């Protein structure tokens, strides 16, 4: 009723203005109708609210599916292993405080210890030396955790070469099918590597030389995405966003170096990427708001049109 009332007032003002326009030149100056930004703003808010309500209805009805892109976080979760003399992160450990017992008869809770970059996790720009003066997780705007997904399927390439590195041409091939990578997108590689997540040996895939072998982004793709596309960041199923061979590249781990230096983000150890369409999904990745956190374990979800 409020919108109707405002509309009626506007009509009355318009009629009044028309009558004044017919008055003699000596009459008082015409009073212009009041601007209606409030009405426009209210209508816009109502429209957005209706779309959000429709989305909520689509989720509860099953017309839209919520896909969990997060691997289970446990003591068995594989973690990256850096060679000496570099320090490594601890994995995940849970310590029980009480479990419906004398220490707490009606409740169960635990405290945990875990590295910021363990399991499915978020890499903030300050994670890398090139981004040391850029945002950590507590400084990133919440709206930057949500974006459209551009899912690039490279499973066939990875089947032939575990050290596959996505390049500019990989992204351009996706754009030939789906159009330009959307502004504010999460660019995600579908490699099939998530199927190895429960077996640390297969997941890290060390060769005879002891070096790991897994696919990922590289210098060419990072330069293209950071310099010629406006994205949030990149995501992978592997332990890091760089292909393993990036450790010996110039610069070392070029995707980390270039992406974080440009203020972009990374998502690693994603699950269920095979359940995402190549375009049309929305990804939400919200890290813990850790003070000066270089990253955080994260629960990543995607909103996807339901398969018919």
Query: If you average pLDDT over residues 28-41, what whole number do you get?
Result: 62
User: DSSP states of 50-105 as a string?
Assistant: HHHHHHHHHHHHTSEEEEE-BPPPSTT-----PPTTS------EEEEEEEEETTEE
Asked whether the predicted pLDDT for residue 9 surpasses 90, the reply is no
How would you class 95 by CB atoms within 10 Å of its CB: exposed for 0-12, middle for 13-18, buried for 19 or more?
exposed
Q: Tell me how far apart the 2 most distant CA atoms of the chain are, in Å.
A: 98
Question: To the nearest whole number, what is the mean pLDDT of the chain?
Answer: 90
pLDDT tens-digit readout, 249-264:
999 999 999 999 999 9
Known catalytic residue at 127: yes
Asked whether the predicted pLDDT for residue 27 surpasses 50, the reply is no
Query: If you average pLDDT over residues 107-136, what whole number do you get?
Result: 98
* Closest by Cα among 262, 167, 172 to 215: 167
pLDDT tens-digit readout, 142-163:
999 999 999 999 999 999 999 9
Q: How far apart are CA 143 and CA 157, in angstroms?
A: 34
The one catalytic residue among 20, 95, 121, 127: 127
pLDDT at 1: 36
Query: If you average pLDDT over residues 223-237, what whole number do you get?
Result: 98
How many DSSP H helices and E strands does the chain contain? Answer: 7, 12
pLDDT at 256: 98
What are φ and ψ of residue 109, in 5° steps?
A: -160, 160
Query: If you average pLDDT over residues 59-82, what whole number do you get?
Result: 96
Domains assigned to the chain: 2-61 (no CATH), 68-90+116-305 (3.50.30.50)
* Closest by Cα among 295, 197, 287 to 239: 197
Query: If you average pLDDT over residues 186-205, what whole number do you get?
Result: 97
pLDDT at 57: 96
Query: If you average pLDDT over residues 29-51, what whole number do you get?
Result: 76
pLDDT at 11: 32
Query: If you average pLDDT over residues 196-220, what whole number do you get?
Result: 96
pLDDT at 83: 85
User: 111 - beta bridge partners?
Assistant: 95
Query: If you average pLDDT over residues 207-230, what whole number do you get?
Result: 97
* Confidence band, pLDDT 50/70/90 cuts, at residue 13: very low
The pair of structure tokens assigned to 198 is: 């429960």
pLDDT at 39: 76
Query: If you average pLDDT over residues 59-84, what whole number do you get?
Result: 95
Percent of the chain residues past pLDDT 90, beyond the cut: 84
Asked whether the predicted pLDDT for residue 282 surpasses 70, the reply is yes
Give the residue ranges of DSSP H helices in 229-265. 254-261
What are φ and ψ of residue 58, in 5° steps?
A: -65, -35
Contact (Cβ atoms closer than 8 angstroms) between residue 274 and residue 190? yes
Least confident residue range of 27-31, 127-131, 269-273: 27-31
């Amino acid at each position: 009723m409020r919108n109707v009332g405002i509309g009626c007032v506007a009509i009355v003002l318009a009629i009044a203005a028309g009558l004044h326009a017919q008055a003699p030149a000596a009459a008082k100056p015409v009073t212009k109708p009041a601007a209606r930004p409030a009405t426009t703003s209210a209508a816009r808010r109502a429209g957005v609210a209706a779309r959000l309500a429709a989305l909520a209805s689509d989720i509860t009805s099953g017309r839209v599916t919520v896909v969990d892109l997060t691997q289970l976080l446990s003591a068995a979760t594989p973690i990256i292993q850096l060679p000496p003399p570099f320090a490594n992160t601890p994995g995940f450990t849970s310590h029980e405080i009480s479990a419906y017992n004398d220490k707490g008869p009606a409740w169960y809770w635990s405290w945990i210890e875990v590295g910021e970059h363990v399991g499915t996790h978020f890499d903030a720009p300050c994670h890398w030396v090139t981004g040391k003066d850029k945002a950590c997780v507590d400084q990133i705007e919440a709206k930057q955790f949500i974006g459209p997904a551009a899912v690039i399927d490279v499973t066939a390439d990875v089947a032939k070469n575990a050290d596959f590195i996505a390049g500019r041409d990989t992204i351009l091939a996706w754009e030939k099918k789906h159009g330009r990578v959307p502004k504010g997108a999460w660019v995600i590689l579908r490699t099939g590597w998530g199927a190895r997540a429960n077996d640390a040996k297969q997941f890290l895939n060390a060769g005879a030389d002891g070096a790991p072998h897994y696919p990922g982004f590289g210098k060419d793709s990072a330069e293209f995405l950071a310099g010629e596309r406006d994205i949030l960041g990149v995501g992978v199923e592997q332990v890091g966003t760089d292909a393993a061979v990036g450790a010996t590249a110039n610069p070392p781990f070029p995707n980390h170096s270039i992406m974080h230096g440009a203020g972009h983000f990374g998502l690693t150890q994603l699950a269920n990427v095979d359940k995402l369409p190549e375009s049309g999904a929305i990804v939400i990745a919200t890290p813990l708001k850790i003070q000066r956190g270089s990253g955080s374990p994260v629960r990543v979800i995607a909103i996807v049109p339901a398969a018919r």
